[in-house]
Every structure is written in structure tokens, then in C-alpha cells.
Amino acid sequence: MKKTMIVLFAGTALFTACKKTDTATTTTTAQKVLGKWAIVSNVSTEKFQGNANTTTTPGTAADFADFRTDGKIYSHSEGSFDTANYKIVSDLLISIDGDTAQIQTLTTNSMVLYSKQMFNANDYTEDKTTFKK
């Protein structure tokens, strides 16, 4: 009986010691962006002639952006449906219908996109959109 227990213990220890370790898989930016994202909020700031106006628009349960493998985004926001083309430019940049946005946050369940368009040294518009899965 003692020999059986020792053999079982040794076999278990050997099996556990030889266990393969999991290798981390790398997910690309393009893979992380894919899928349907709920729009949490959009913060827009417009500054013209020294006057800045910031508007925060919360997303509703019906608002989403669905990034597809064909390079298209199907979205619903503020009561309207839209389709746009997108391309991952780099790990930190995305182009949507030719306009480039910074990818400020990108995890499996959170994404923040930021863009700023300068009209001159003082006037601009900027948008920050937050998404969740």
C-alpha cells in the first residue's frame, strides 16, 4: 500500500512538473478593434474666435459602432444609422473616412478615440468618443 501511494505521488509530481506553460498570445490592434462597441459618450469641443463650447453627449442603449473585417463601421448614434470606412494606421492611429483619430485606450472591453482638427493657430474642433464592449 505504501509503495502504491509513493508511486502515485511520484507520478503526480512528475506529471505536474512536466506541465507545459501557456504562452501569451499577442492580439493586434486590428483584432482588438473588431466587433460591436457600445458608445458610452462623446465629448466635443469647438473653439472659434476665443470662445470654446464643450458638449458631452451620453450614448444610449441603442448607440453602437460595429467594426467589421471588411474595413467598414456600421454605427447608430443620436438616432441615425451610418456606414463608414476605417483603416488601422498604426497601434495608436485609426483612419475613419479619411479622418485620423488617436487610439488613446484600447483593451478587450474599452476603447477611447480622440481627434482634433486645427483651423488656424487658435480655432479647432476636437472629439473624444468612449466605447465599451
* Tens-place pLDDT, residues 32-52: 999 999 999 999 999 999 899
Which grid cell is 81? 444609422
CA distance 125 to 48: 9
The tens place of each residue's pLDDT in the chain, 133 residues long, gives 444 333 333 344 434 445 555 556 788 999 999 999 999 999 999 999 989 999 999 999 999 999 999 999 999 999 999 999 999 999 999 999 999 999 999 999 999 999 999 999 999 999 999 999 9
Q: Would you tell me which CATH number, out of the four given (3.30.70.20, 2.40.128.20, 3.90.226.10, 3.40.50.300), belongs to the domain 28-132?
A: 2.40.128.20
Do the Cβ atoms of 7 and 15 come closer than 8 Å?
no
Three-state secondary structure call for residue 54: strand
Judge residue 61's burial from the number of C-beta atoms within 10 Å of its C-beta, 0-12 exposed, 13-18 middle, 19 or more buried: exposed
pTM: 0.79
Query: What is the pairing mode between strands 110-118 and 124-132?
Result: antiparallel
